[in-house]
Amino acid sequence: MGDRAGCQVLISDGQGVGTITNDDGAATAGSVSISDVTISEGDSGTKMATFTVTRSGGTAAFDVNFATPDATATVADSDYVAASNTLHFAANQNTQTISVAINGDTKVEANETFNVVLSNATNGATISDSHGVGTITNDDGAPTA
């Protein structure tokens, strides 16, 4: 072995840099749709027609508005109680519900419908089915002689 006296080691770069490449995309909100509901009217009081709003694809939080426009069932005829609001889907939440009060009566009438319409989804969410139909089935018969 030789003599090591006078040997010098030079370090030209004393620091290393590690880079972690992100391979995860940004979370998306996905798409939502609403169910249809059929409910028996009843003779008095109120019942709740509950619509389910379901997310498919995506995990990010978003909001979506809803409202209940008349069809053959009307607010003016006291068939149901109008509702409008905003549903908030938290991150990873896949379902929400919308409840609409149905008023019972003893009027003899045909089955009637009203709508629940989704609109204005936020955070890139899309609406694949914006129109839920609520059908109120008449349970009153015509008097017999």
Cα–Cα distance for residue pair 58/126, rounded to 1 Å: 10
* DSSP 8-state code for residue 91: T
Question: Is residue 138 over pLDDT 70?
Answer: yes
> Which percentage of the chain shows pLDDT scores above 70?
83
For the chain, give the mean pLDDT. 89
Contact 37, 132 (CB under 8 A): yes
In the numeric block, which tokens belong to residue 39? 């409910």
Is the pLDDT higher at 1 or at 135?
Answer: 135
* 47 three-state secondary structure: strand
| pLDDT at position 109 | 87
- Categorize the per-residue pLDDT at 49 as very low, low, confident or very high, splitting at 50, 70 and 90: very high
The pLDDT value recorded for residue 47 is 96
Higher pLDDT, 139 or 59: 59
Report the b/e string of 123-140 with b at 16+ CB within 10 A: eebbbeebebebbbeeee
Query: Please, are residues 80 and 59 in contact by the beta-carbon 8 Å criterion?
Result: no
Alpha helices in 7-57 (DSSP H): none
Show the tokens assigned to 105. 């009566």
